[in-house]
Structure 1
Amino acid sequence: MNEDNESACWNSSLIEIDSFSNLEDIDLTADGSLFLRVLICVVYSAVCAAGLIGNLLVLFFIRVKQDRTKSRLNFFVLNLAVTDLQFVLTLPFWAVDTALDFSWPFGNAMCKIVLSVTVMNMYASVFFLTAMSVSRYWSVASALRNRTVHKSCSTKWICAIIWTLATLATAPTPIFSTVSNVTGEKLCLLRFPGGQYWLAIYHMQKILVGFVMPMSIVSISYLMLFRVIRNRSMKTSNPKRRSQVTKSITIVVLSFFLCWMPNHAITLWSVLVKLNAAHWDKAYYVVHTYVFPLTVCLAHANSCLNPVIYCLMRQEFRNKLKALVHRG
């Protein structure tokens, strides 16, 4: 059976199904596989619940409480919450898929829809995080220079561009995703006519567009913001403010990096294997089978961390949450 042009889709990432002559030499345990699948289902359920609660609270505070009209950052947060909310709503489908040992029970149309929504919102979430980092620096720098920042119209256009870019980046997914029968199981797959090389390009796009470029922009933006705040704090003798900003920046950058880096690192390894730049061996199989799924869970956890980082760390949102709890 030749499966070089197939890969089973697991959320925003891909789990390979490769046929190798020495596969039978690898010691696979059913108990280990069952434990991993149960663990993933539990994590998906927890991330889904936390993401629903966190992002719905964000939408409630910004949309219902009418706090979005004058703030560029809040408008980005609103879109980010919508993005992450759509993202976590796909997790129950992947949890069922995992519980059934990656046998897709929802049909071909739902495979295309769920996978496309998952991938699109992965890109959109990362793009909005990047736009927020740039906006945060620009707002602070402009305020310190006594410049007026034009908010409403430009922000809406930026959000429209982000959704368009995320849709374009996701375009190959609905086109090439399908449900195929592999070793008697129905799997939600990406099947490219060009085989593993096109799949490698698909992976490289995800790594570069979904991580390397955004991470670079986020890091540069926050380094510049930190420099502006540091210089301002030195002039105004406000070390407390500088400490707060430093802490906030560190948490934002580290959470983004730590949640996504392991997943993209293993994905890069798989790209090198597909291009015959690295050898397939037992270590690769074990990491891709047992470690890679956990990195997918970690990446998805970023969707419930976003509202915590961008909202609950802000004093205004903490005050509103306290008022809501006390009222209840």
Structure 2
Amino acid sequence: MAEDGADGIPLNCHSSHLRGFNIFLPTAYYLIFFSGFLGNLFVISVVGSKSRRSGRLVDTFIVNLALADLIFVLTLPLWAISASQDGQWNFGAAGNLLCKLSSYIIAVNRFSNIFFLTCMSVDRYLAVVKLMDSRYLRSSQCIRATCAAVWLISLVLGIPSLVYRGVEHSQDGLSCVENDNSPFFLVLSLTMVLLTFVFPVLIIGLCYGIIIMHLNKHCVTTANPRTEARRRHSLKMVLSIIVAFVVSWLPFNIFKAIMIGSLLSNAGLSCDNLAWQRNGLLISCCLAFLNSCVNPAIYFFLDHHFRRRAKILYKTCTGKPKLVQSHTSSASFTNMGTSESFGTGGRTQLQIFE
């Protein structure tokens, strides 16, 4: 598997996959690959088709998040082939390079994915709660610089995957695994669990908790039905993103922490317990990877602005430019303030994604 493979299983323990893993895992990886590739390509096409005037600041994070997921899913066919061969990594002379490179891409995606979600949460907090005090922080230049910093940090944090991962001989043949003999790497991996899950979840929860309280107070004050409807839409979007993030990554990080803790403590676990941890990590990795194809569905079904842009792109591709122009013009008047423009001079209404 992309994150741990057969790590942590001694040589005197026979590898014990659950029945049907060589069918279930490749099928899951190919489904995630196809849906993630098409879904994120669709998101990039829709968001990228927006003009500077009609685009939202948060779209910069969305397109970068989709790009990270798109690059990641391109590595899944390699792991699908390996899983169909019971975890063996038979890719010839280029096997070690492919092992390191694909593992590095997965690590970079893991970090950038979570950091972009966290940045989006902070951006939503600034847009809703600190609107008048965050004009510079929410400028297009500042957000682009933030995205560049996220990519740079993610690329650096992924370097240990290049150093401590490679093809090794095991009792089952060649496997792409991590070097679990290095205490430094194990401590670093445990630190990454805290850095890329616990802290981001705390930040996301804090930001959206304050946002929800602010929106509740705002709606009570205005007692406006349209504002109340927007609040419900915003809360639905917020809840969907948080649930998708936590459900996808929580099991993986739990199993990852358990395995690292067992290795660091030199606990004398039985072969059955080690195999249970390994199989649990394999399943939880599939769930974590599934997050890369869930986000496009969330945007399409819950983001009205994204759906409008998708319809405009469809009409443009089918040769209806006049209708598109008319729709865009009417939308600019009927939905003033509902989408955040890249300009800094206009007013921005209290919205989360609308």
Normalization by structure 2: what TM-score?
0.80
Aligned with 2:129: secondary structure? Answer: helix
Please name the residue that 1:66 is paired with. Answer: 51
Q: Is the 8 A contact 1:207 1:268 kept in 2?
A: yes
Distance 2:254 2:63 in 1: 30
Please name the residue that 1:19 is paired with. Answer: 10
Cα RMSD for the two superposed structures: 2.5
Verify: 1:56 aligned to 2:47, yes or no. no
Alpha-carbon distance, 1:104 to partner: 1.1
> Gaps (5+ residues) in structure 1?
1-9
Alpha-carbon distance, 1:278 to partner: 5.2
Distance change in 2, residues 1:124/1:250 (3 Å): same
Please name the residue that 1:242 is paired with. Answer: 231
Deviations 1:186-206 (A, max 9, x none): 1112226xx252342132023
Distance 2:194 2:4 in 1: 14
Please name the residue that 1:267 is paired with. Answer: 256
Verify: 1:210 aligned to 2:199, yes or no. no
Please name the residue that 1:7 is paired with. Answer: none
Verify: 1:153 aligned to 2:141, yes or no. yes
Distance 1:14 1:163 in 2: 26
Following superposition of structure 1 onto structure 2, how do residues 1-328 of structure 1 map, counting pairs within 5 Å?
A: 10-19=1-10, 23=13, 28=16, 32-33=18-19, 35-66=20-51, 70-106=55-91, 107-143=95-131, 145=132, 148-149=135-136, 150-183=138-171, 185-191=173-179, 195-237=181-223, 238-276=227-265, 280-281=269-270, 284-322=273-311
Alpha-carbon distance, 1:55 to partner: 0.5
Deviations 1:260-291 (A, max 9, x none): 00111111111221122755236633422333
Distance 1:210 1:152 in 2: 25
Distance change in 2, residues 1:208/1:308 (3 Å): same
Distance change in 2, residues 1:20/1:108 (3 Å): closer
Distance 1:274 1:310 in 2: 40
Distance 2:54 2:146 in 1: 16
Deviations 1:124-174 (A, max 9, x none): 11110110111111112233x486354221111101110111112111111
Distance 2:229 2:55 in 1: 27
Q: Is the 8 A contact 2:129 2:211 kept in 1?
A: yes
Q: Is the 8 A contact 2:237 2:303 kept in 1?
A: no
Amino acid at match of 1:308: A
Q: Is the 8 A contact 1:177 1:190 kept in 2?
A: yes
Distance change in 2, residues 1:168/1:212 (3 Å): same
Q: Which moved more, 1:294-303 or 1:308-317?
A: 308-317
Q: Considering only CA atoms, is the larger Rg found in Structure 1 or Structure 2? A: 2
Amino acid at match of 1:222: Y
Amino acid at match of 2:290: A
Distance 2:124 2:287 in 1: 26
Distance 2:168 2:239 in 1: 44
Aligned length: 310
Q: Which moved more, 1:50-59 or 1:196-205?
A: 196-205
Distance 1:176 1:282 in 2: 24
> Gaps (5+ residues) in structure 2?
319-354
Distance 1:97 1:118 in 2: 16
Alpha-carbon distance, 1:218 to partner: 0.9
Alpha-carbon distance, 1:17 to partner: 4.2
Aligned with 2:265: secondary structure? Answer: coil
Which structure has more helix as a fraction of its residues?
1
Distance change in 2, residues 1:196/1:146 (3 Å): closer
Task: Give the structure, 1 or 2, with the largest relative contact order (CA under 8 Å, sep 6 or more).
Answer: 2
Distance 1:17 1:233 in 2: 53
Distance 1:53 1:66 in 2: 22
Aligned with 1:103: secondary structure? Answer: coil
Distance 1:67 1:51 in 2: 26
Distance 1:214 1:15 in 2: 28
Alpha-carbon distance, 1:94 to partner: 0.8
Amino acid at match of 1:208: L
Normalization by structure 1: what TM-score?
0.86
Q: Which moved more, 1:264-273 or 1:245-254?
A: 245-254
Alpha-carbon distance, 1:225 to partner: 1.2
Q: Which moved more, 1:200-209 or 1:282-291?
A: 282-291
Distance 2:115 2:135 in 1: 24
Q: Is the 8 A contact 2:5 2:175 kept in 1?
A: no
Alpha-carbon distance, 1:69 to partner: 7.5
Distance 2:268 2:186 in 1: 15
Deviations 1:53-83 (A, max 9, x none): 1101111011134368852200011111110
